[in-house]
Amino acid sequence: MLKKSFVGLFIPQFEYQLLPTRLPEPEKVTASKTVTLYHPKKSDQKAPSSLRVGNTVKTGQKISLYADDPAYVIASAGGTISAISPHTGDFGKTYSAVAIDIDKNKTLDDQFAAQCQSPTLANTLEYLAFTPGNPPLAMLAASENPVKTIVITGVDSDLLVGTRQYITKTRLADLKGGIKILKQISGVERVILVTARDALQGFGHIGADGKSIDTIYPAALPQMIMKNVLGEIVPAGKSCEDLGVCFMSVEAVVSIGSAYESGQIPVRKILTLITKQENQRIIETTIGTPIRDILSAYDVTINEADRIIFGGPMRGSAVYSLDQPVLPDTDAILVLDRAKAAYTSDYPCINCGNCVRACPAQIAVNMLVRLLEAGHYQEAADSYDLYSCIECGLCSYVCVSKIPIFQYIRLAKYELNRAKTAEATDA
């Protein structure tokens, strides 16, 4: 962890770590007994009807709990469904957690192979939305806001994470295939592959426009890529999709490529395990594997009040249970000793200005946080650039008073969005 240096005149800068040129094979970790899949669920949906506890599923089978809802998950391991329970994620997102007891006699589901001889947008949407990397296929299919550019991110947005870099370097054939299929099914001509500065070699034949970015955090966040690579600034309150740019993790493209190449829906996820000593290991595991299995495979001891984080140290989210499964977009698992984790305080802002100097979006964070602390979210959005925030977390990192500024910002955005949705439903 980077601490403030003795010379405090300059704000500390984080560098993304580059992986070495020679890469080992990912270490394989298998789920011991069960895998759990989070099926998206609207909060008003009742218990599922189409699938019951006790049903058997095959590896790669599509599980759709509600007939009227296009959401689905892909069974990452064959076996018997042992439980379906509600689960609430961050910011009130609701899921049905489908637990599958693994049956060792693996049978592979052949529905995808049978129905998808040639790639089309419809059948990718039908089968590949739950593959490793979570390809945002619905975005490509949305008709009201056509995608003009696809940006494939071969860089990890958070620190210490090496997953996407690793995949960019090791899965070139599938990446190339995936790009070809993407172009074909979406009709988008402009595909950009973003890599780290020194890693831009050997991507000439890949079918995408190779671009490299700076290695200083937060250069790999979508808004910064928009600004520095595409030369477009995302207006406050708009998203990259609104400008017709679709961001896709390199793993998602590789998943699409390998699915059509092999005729099997990929169910294994590459991720970075960051241990308490900040050692990184690239791991390959089945989607839905509980964290417990991964940690015990590496003899990571967990003490009371430690933290386990999905994602990196700056933007990740902490989980509360070792039973939490690996999700299709879990790029990293960070284990943090309680002595090393940052604690927040309820101390007031002393107006030291560190956040203002650290902010890559030039937001007057010192004023913003005063409004957010008081709950004046709308005013914060109107006068103090709440929606310009690119969510890098540097303000909280440098805060002398240890105010959870980043969390205040995310909460404010969430609350404003909720109010807006409620108004729209009322009207």
The string of DSSP letters for 376-423 reads -HHHHHHHS-GGG-----HHHHH-TT---HHHHHHHHHHHHHHHHHHH
Contact (CB, 8 A) for 183 and 253: no
> At its nearest, how many Å lie between other proteins and the CB of residue 214?
16
The nearer residue to other proteins, 182 or 274, going by C-beta atoms, is 274
> At its nearest, how many Å lie between other proteins and the CB of residue 410?
8
The nearer residue to other proteins, 115 or 279, going by C-beta atoms, is 279
Helix 250-262, helix 163-170: angle, nearest 10: 40
Closest CA to 315 of 196, 130, 160: 160
> At its nearest, how many Å lie between other proteins and the CB of residue 66?
29
The nearer residue to other proteins, 173 or 236, going by C-beta atoms, is 236
Q: How many helices (H) and strands (E) does the chain have?
A: 13, 16
> At its nearest, how many Å lie between other proteins and the CB of residue 320?
5
Q: Is 269 exposed, middle or buried (0-12, 13-18, 19+ CB in 10 A)?
A: buried
Contact (CB, 8 A) for 16 and 28: no
The nearer residue to other proteins, 94 or 351, going by C-beta atoms, is 351
The nearer residue to other proteins, 51 or 411, going by C-beta atoms, is 411
* Distance of alpha carbon 15 from alpha carbon 289, whole angstroms: 31
> At its nearest, how many Å lie between other proteins and the CB of residue 11?
8
> At its nearest, how many Å lie between other proteins and the CB of residue 389?
9
The nearer residue to other proteins, 201 or 407, going by C-beta atoms, is 407
